[in-house]
Amino acid sequence: MQAVYSDRYQIDLGLHVFPTAKYRLIAERLSQRPDITFVEPEPATWAQLALVHTAEYLAKMRDGTLGETELEQLELPWSVGMVDGFRLMVGGTIQTALLATGLEVTSLTSKIREDGSALRLATSNVGVVCHVGGGLHHAFPNHGEGFCPFNDVAVAARVLQDRGLERIAVVDLDVHHGNGTAFIFESDPRVFTLSLHQQHNYPLWKPRSTLDVGLPDGAHDATYLRELERALPQVMAHRPQCVFFLAGADPYEDDQLGGLRLTRDGLRRRDRMVIETVRAAGVPLVVTLAGGYARRLEDTVAIHLATIEEASVSN
Ligand SMILES: [Zn+2]
């Protein structure tokens, strides 16, 4: 399986609850697996970012002229490195989406394609590609929020629309509501947005997704999986040509910013349910990591690794 990743995702944010080291730690573990091929992304261009974000906001991000309130809302310190790192991460989600949908192949894959017999092996897992990054669902067109400067999934969805895809779905299972994504696609019937989240948590204002499932505080595996099982058929009824999965690790019971009580096993079953459903329908799947703030960083890393493991098996 292909995994899109860059070492430059480890962005220096000073003392911060957002552990950008998780990307590197996950990649280190994945590099021991011979079945994973890493793909280095290119940064999203400013023109690609402008498919979603306003020119005014992008200029402020680029020039470092965000106001105090805007920085408080973004909850990240501005620096050239921060902007570059996240622009690269948006490029990573675009790249993942292009690979999953077969709109772009890596040079490695195209080399293998010259040999027909190797092709079958190499493409046995085409359709599911993981991004060891992404899921920045709190970013709006005109401002960033909650550690999300740019909305990578929304930008990648717009890129796919430009390439001719008519129906796209977003399955957002981060513990926090996907407010930016919901807002961006609120009046675009071509994109089905599902957000399954803790109702009484950030963000306070939750623009309407196509389907919102707000869970009560402390919901356990059984409740969560039952709701997911009910929601997924509605997503697939949209007949998406590509599904973006935000596999947030923060519904975990020991997360510092989440108030649900999912176990690691429950999260793995969640991932399996999404991946198997999308795969059974023969639809390309773009996996992004989204949030994860467990008290112990190794738990966050293990949860994300389990997601990638689920995506790379049972083909
Ligand atoms: Zn989150």
The predicted pLDDT at position 314 comes to: 55
Average pLDDT over residues 48-62: 98
Tell me which residue has tokens 């738990």: 299
Beta bridge partners of 3: 38, 130
The predicted pLDDT at position 110 comes to: 47
The predicted pLDDT at position 16 comes to: 87
The model's pTM:
0.93
* Residue in 221, 212, 210 with CA at minimum distance from that of residue 270: 221
Tell me which residue has tokens 């990578």: 152
How far, in Å, from the CA of 65 to the mean position of ligand 1? 26
Average pLDDT over residues 230-256: 98
> Of 13-22, 101-110, 223-232, where does the model show the most confidence?
223-232
Write the pLDDT tens digit of every residue in 143-158: 999 999 999 999 999 9
How far, in Å, from the CA of 290 to the mean position of ligand 1? 7
10 pLDDT above the threshold of 90: yes
Write the pLDDT tens digit of every residue in 225-241: 999 999 999 999 999 99
| 270 exposure class (CB count in 10 Å sphere: 0-12, 13-18, 19+) | buried
Determine whether 16 is an active site residue: no
Query: Dihedrals φ, ψ of 242, to 5°?
Result: -160, 140
The predicted pLDDT at position 303 comes to: 98
- Ligand 1 (ion): residues with CB under 5 Å are 174, 176, 250, 291
58 pLDDT above the threshold of 50: yes
| 146 exposure class (CB count in 10 Å sphere: 0-12, 13-18, 19+) | buried
The predicted pLDDT at position 169 comes to: 98
Q: Choose the catalytic residue: 53, 131, 137, 138.
A: 138
Write the pLDDT tens digit of every residue in 169-228: 999 999 999 999 999 999 999 999 999 999 999 999 999 999 999 999 999 999 999 999
How far, in Å, from the CA of 118 to the mean position of ligand 1? 40
107 pLDDT above the threshold of 80: no
